[in-house]
Amino acid sequence: MKAIGALFMLTLLAAVLASALGVVWTRHESRVLFVNLTALQNQRDELNIEYGKLELEQATYAEPRRIDDEARQKLGMFDPRPQDIRLLR
């Protein structure tokens, strides 16, 4: 009877130790994942800021007045004279 009680106590001790190790491992994994999550959120925020800047830059480059100025200055384009315009049907 004493042997069964001792075996039962050793089994319970092993279960408690396994459970404690599981808790420690789970907490460690949780902390590692939280650090990764925080780093990814920071990276997301930086990318959102960069995306906003790129959208603003694109809007600036796509502005019709700027395109017209670039065409006139760099490409030497100009509006056609009325007598140079021909309508086709």
pLDDT in tens, 29-43: 999 999 999 999 999
Confidence of residue 19 (pLDDT cuts 50, 70, 90): very high
pTM for the whole structure: 0.61
Q: Is 86 within a domain? A: no
> Which domain, by its residues, includes 61?
2-76
Q: Is 66 within a domain? A: yes
Q: Is 11 within a domain? A: yes
Domain count, the chain: 1
Q: Is 50 within a domain? A: yes
Which string of DSSP letters, residue by residue, matches 10-46?
HHHHHHHHHHHHHHHHHHHHHHHHHHHHHHHHHHHHH
**What percent of the chain shows pLDDT beyond 70?**
100
Q: Is 58 within a domain? A: yes
Q: Is 85 within a domain? A: no
Q: Is 25 within a domain? A: yes
